[in-house]
Structure 1
Amino acid sequence: MTASRSIIPPLLFGVVMTAILMSLGFWQLRRLDEKTTLLAEIQSGIDATPVPLPAEIDPGMKYLPVTVAGQTTGEEILVLSGTKERGGGYNVISAFETEDGRRILLDRGYIEQDYRRTARPPVALSVAGNLHWPQDNNSSTPDPDLNAGIWFARDVQAMANTLDTQPILVVASEVEGEAQGVDPIPVAIEGIPNSHLSYAVQWFLFAATCAGMTAWLIWRIRRRTY
């Protein structure tokens, strides 16, 4: 086989693989644009003017800004949490009875570990926040420690079953009334992953590596042939 014919198979293979890897990189860049636009739309929805809690609610209303008034019942769930500024702590999820008689979940916000056992009796609150169906749990998330009253992820349906509420969660952003040491943690897009740029860089690096290896192999074949 001549040198020109012997380099055709690896050359074709290298060109095809490099093209495929490059196309995957460009696809990730398109996904980056789409995700950036989506996040901007979500942020715009989060920042919109709050409306009274709708009578009918479904997960399609995720992030809808709402207002509710009523009182906590003293029943709560503590979800293991933390902040960069203050370290580990808990999110306080309270059963909340609205003025019109509905019983929902209210994510009041963050407390430090030292305040875990502090009493938080029923208190009247007016809240502005967002409807939310968080996806905190995964296959490695431990089951709640019901004896200690500690959960490791927010699961709206499971929390509603435990506190005997509707499966509706409002995450507080502003609270009027006695906060009882709980600091609101508003819904934010920072927790929504957007890794498409890093994926695109990886695919382009794979493409460059493939092109380099193909060029090196062809150089070796030509050198051996001649």
Structure 2
Amino acid sequence: MAGSNPRLLNAIFSVTRPKLTTCRQVSKQVRRRLNTQPKSGKTADDPEFVSIVDAPAQVISTRRKHNKLGLAVLALIPITALALGTWQVQRLDWKTKLIAKFEDRLVRPPLPLPPRIDPSVIDEFDYRRVYATGTLKHEAEMLVGPRMHDGKDGFFVITPLEREGGSTILINRGWVSRERRFQQDRDPSSLPRGEVTISGLLREPWKKNVFTPDNNPQQGKFYFPDVAQMARYSGSEPIWIEETMAPSLLESYNREEKGIPIGRPAEVNLRNNHVQYIVTW
């Protein structure tokens, strides 16, 4: 371009001509943007070079390690449940046969109680229907309780029965309310005089619960029927009979009002919850 000013041309070309960038500059820019540092890699000719074949990559687990003790406890849970369930199956079989044996004794005709009884054979006659004749010793009456009956608080009335020949046994006459626990608060018909015949179940001595307090015979407090202890206290034999009566709502109301002991029905009252325990375990 003739007659042109060289300075003006250089200024124009410097503005319009794009700035060239080398490959090295591009590499630096990329590394800067990625915020990484160039690796000082080593070639195969370097004595310190280690191949990936000689040092393969290792897989590192990031999962949390489990506690071996906790796993052992978890493993014992199903084993324990199986053992307890098997034990309950055995208990169910034992309890079912025991109830069947007692129910078989209930349907048999009542037996007259022999003049003398060996306490060691009571287990063979548990829940056997019997009857005995004698005189009730109301002056030696004992109360066992508290005991609940139809949601009401009360006591069992235990009265020695003196039979002919000098043999005296213990009779559980039944339940009276707390308001009728004293003889002076009862109707005279609740204290029969003279010779009477008692029908009931011959029962094996009770077993004390670990949570039940000890009896105090000197103060007339009996929290559970310790047959041997009550027999010594009243001068009786350790023979326990539970008087029975036919279930009747009107009769029970009448007896409760007069303070006449309410006898138990002639039935087996053993609990059998082992099926529920089996399902639970």
Q: 8 Å contact 1:92–1:107 — kept in the other structure? A: yes
Structure 2 counterpart of 1:95: 160
Q: Deviations over 1:49-101 (max 9, x none)?
A: 11011333333232221110111012111001434425111111111112343
Q: Deviations over 1:129-173 (max 9, x none)?
A: 111124252233223344552311001100000100011111111
Q: 8 Å contact 1:129–1:186 — kept in the other structure? A: no
Q: 8 Å contact 2:206–2:227 — kept in the other structure? A: no
Q: 8 Å contact 1:127–1:174 — kept in the other structure? A: no
Q: Which has the higher contact order (CA 8 A, sep 6+)?
A: 1
Q: 8 Å contact 1:133–1:156 — kept in the other structure? A: no
Query: Compared with structure 1, are the counterparts of its residues 56 and 84 closer, same or farther at alpha carbon in structure 2 (3 Å cutoff)?
Result: closer
Decide which moves more: 91-100 or 161-170. Answer: 91-100
Once residues 53 and 44 of structure 1 are traced to their aligned partners in structure 2, the CA distance between those partners, rounded to angstroms, is 19
- 2:156 is aligned with 1:156: no
Alignment size in residue pairs: 196
Structure 1 counterpart of 2:105: 45
Once residues 71 and 276 of structure 2 are traced to their aligned partners in structure 1, the CA distance between those partners, rounded to angstroms, is 28
Question: Given the alignment, which residue of 54, 61, 69 partners 2:133?
Answer: 69
1:87-126 pair list within 5 angstroms: 87-119=152-184, 120=191, 122-126=193-197
Structure 1 counterpart of 2:204: 133
Q: Which has the higher Rg, Structure 1 or Structure 2?
A: 2
Q: Which amino acid aligns with 1:102?
A: S
Q: 8 Å contact 2:171–2:240 — kept in the other structure? A: yes
- 2:274 is aligned with 1:196: yes
Q: Which amino acid aligns with 1:107?
A: N
Q: Deviations over 1:4-46 (max 9, x none)?
A: xxxxx99999788635633542442243133122212212213
Which has more strand, going by share of residues?
Answer: 1
Query: Compared with structure 1, are the counterparts of its residues 71 and 28 closer, same or farther at alpha carbon in structure 2 (3 Å cutoff)?
Result: same
TM-score by length of 2: 0.58
TM-align CA RMSD: 3.4
Question: Given the alignment, which residue of 237, 256, 260 partners 1:181?
Answer: 260
Question: Given the alignment, which residue of 220, 241, 244 partners 1:170?
Answer: 241
Q: 8 Å contact 1:29–1:196 — kept in the other structure? A: yes
The unaligned stretches of length 5 or more in structure 1 are 1-8, 204-226
Secondary structure at the aligned position of 2:157 is classed as: strand
Identity over aligned pairs, percent = 28
Query: Compared with structure 1, are the counterparts of its residues 146 and 122 closer, same or farther at alpha carbon in structure 2 (3 Å cutoff)?
Result: farther
Q: Which amino acid aligns with 2:171?
A: L
Once residues 158 and 73 of structure 2 are traced to their aligned partners in structure 1, the CA distance between those partners, rounded to angstroms, is 57
The unaligned stretches of length 5 or more in structure 2 are 1-67, 185-190, 247-257
